[in-house]
Amino acid sequence: MEAAAAPKRPQDDVLSDLAALHQRFDDESISFEDFEAAKGLLLAQLAVE
């Protein structure tokens, strides 16, 4: 049995959220550590076929 993972979401939704996250980092709204943590969570949500 596979361990519980983040729910899978459509690629376009995740990529949109990643773009917004990158913008927040570029605007210095979040730290590098928070950026990396959030990016990891988003990437885990990509639906891989």
- Say yes or no to pLDDT of 4 above 90: no
The pLDDT, as a whole number, for residue 46 is: 85
pLDDT tens digits, 23-48 = 999 999 999 999 999 999 999 998 66
**pLDDT at residue number 1:** 42
Q: Contact at 8 Å (CB) between 8 and 45?
A: yes
Q: What is the pLDDT of residue 3?
A: 47
- Give yes or no for residue 22 having a pLDDT over 80: yes
CA distance 36 to 30: 10
pLDDT, residue 7, reads 73
